[in-house]
Homo-oligomer: A and B are copies of this chain.
Amino acid sequence: MSSNPGRPAPSGPFGERTRAEVFALILTDGPLSRVEVAAKLGLSPSTVTRLLPPLLDGDYIRETGRAATALGRPRRLLEVNAARHLVVGVKISPTHVTGVLTDMAARVVGRAETPVPDTLPTTILRATTALTRDLLSGVDTSLVLGIGVGVGGHVGREAGICHTSALLDWHEVPVAAPLAEATGLPVVVENDVNTLVVAERWFGAGRDTRSFAVVTIGPGVGCGLLLGGAMYTGATGMAGEFGHLPLDPAGPKCLCGNHGCLEALASSAAIVRDLAHEGVRVSSAEQAAALARAGNPAAREVYARVGNALGRGLAALVNLLDLELIVLAGEGAAEHDLFGPAMTAGLRAHAFSKAAERPVHIDPATDDLWARGAACLMIGAAVAGPLTPPRVERHHP
């Protein structure tokens, strides 16, 4: 795909799409010399030279020292000026809102959290505004790039709207506009799992991968996709609905009304319910995990079944999309020691691709990491990075 040359370029130092790619690469892999950037992006050195001046002039990127090579002219190293901006990343949960403050290199420099009494839009948005003010107290506002927000549900990024969220019981809730109004800052909203995709792509297991999925397990099961180097959100932004993969018509009833959905087999609630079925009463998945680790055979059996369901689900994912990697995240990922073996066995049995031989990467991300991902998203959106191709809509491409 070509970029959109010829069209009136947006103002600012990030008018060019390739320039944004250069910036993102230096951010994630810097310090790098011009020649290294060119090689990693498949560009010619002259192109990199041409793209840099605005970034250097705008103090987004700095030349920091030179790296002597064995022979020849030493490389001049380029680095992101992390102090150029501050960025706020927010993760919205049903019981609390988590925020981090990062620098322009997406390094966390502050954090905050607020409990919320209910999930009414006004409550949550007010809490988010307060949290942002808190994080930014004493900070020069002109230094702040913007706010990235991750919400669990169907999000329309362009419109900044959360169309639906079962978790929060939201319908067509405007998120970006009120937050931008209240804070005076640019706001980007995305599905929360997709913020994690950005974080994994930039700093995590997906660094050198062009197609992977992030699957989150916990109260629900979610999925974010990076396909061919770009985030995939589907025709209407709803892609990644993975929790209701129908895995077993004889399985337990799911909240969606069907039987044997992945979520009905592998969520925290499913674990508690299955264990109760075995005559063992626990009130949370953590207790179930503790029992299993203590050797309780019923609990171990439940986790094995969870692992099998997960393995079969991940196999479906890998087979259909021919992914290079799967990152398993979310609260439930911490119980990997319990469901891992059965999951791997299930995946191996069902998967065709070689990706099944690569271990699933486990990353039990904290809320802070999700929020950091939201900050990454804001940075990525600001630099129109490789993850966010705001392509010109063509009717017949």
Contact = CB atoms under 8 A, between A and B. Distances in A.
Interface stretch (A60-68, A75-83, A320-328): A320-328
Instruction: Classify the interface of chain A: helix, strand, loop or mixed.
Output: loop
Interface in A194-246: 210-211, 223, 227-230, 232-242, 244-246
A167 interface: no
Given A316-B316, A386-B397, A41 B247 contact: no
A42 interface: yes
A190 interface: no
Interface stretch (A1-9, A87-95, A129-137, A143-151): A1-9
A389 interface: yes
Contact of A396 (B211, B350, B386, B396): B386
Contact of A246 (B237, B247, B386): B247
A25 B238 CA distance: 28
B244 A1 contact: no
Interface string A350-375: 10111100000000000000000000
A73 interface: no
A304 to B, nearest CB: 13
Given A21-B397, A322-B237, A1 B246 contact: no
Contact of A349 (B2, B3, B40, B257): B257
Contact of A241 (B3, B312, B353): B353
A256 B97 CA distance: 46
A140 interface: no
A246 B311 CA distance: 10
A250 B247 contact: no
B227 A352 contact: no
A352 B238 contact: yes
A322 B233 contact: yes
A322 B248 contact: no
Number of copies of this kind of chain in the complex: 2
A210 B393 CA distance: 11
Contacts of A353: 234, 236, 238, 241
B396 A41 contact: yes
B229 A227 contact: no
A392 B1 contact: no
Interface centre among A228, A239, A257, A396 (most CB of B within 10 A): A396
Contacts of A5: 2, 5
B25 A2 contact: no
B258 A349 contact: yes
A239 B29 contact: no
A165 interface: no
A308 B395 CA distance: 35
Contact of A244 (B245, B323, B352): B352
A17 interface: yes
A342 interface: no
A315 interface: yes
Given A42-B395, A239-B320, 9 more contacts: A40-B396, A41-B394, A235-B322, A237-B322, A241-B319, A241-B353, A247-B247, A248-B249, A249-B308
5 contacts: A29-B396, A42-B393, A211-B234, A241-B319, A245-B319
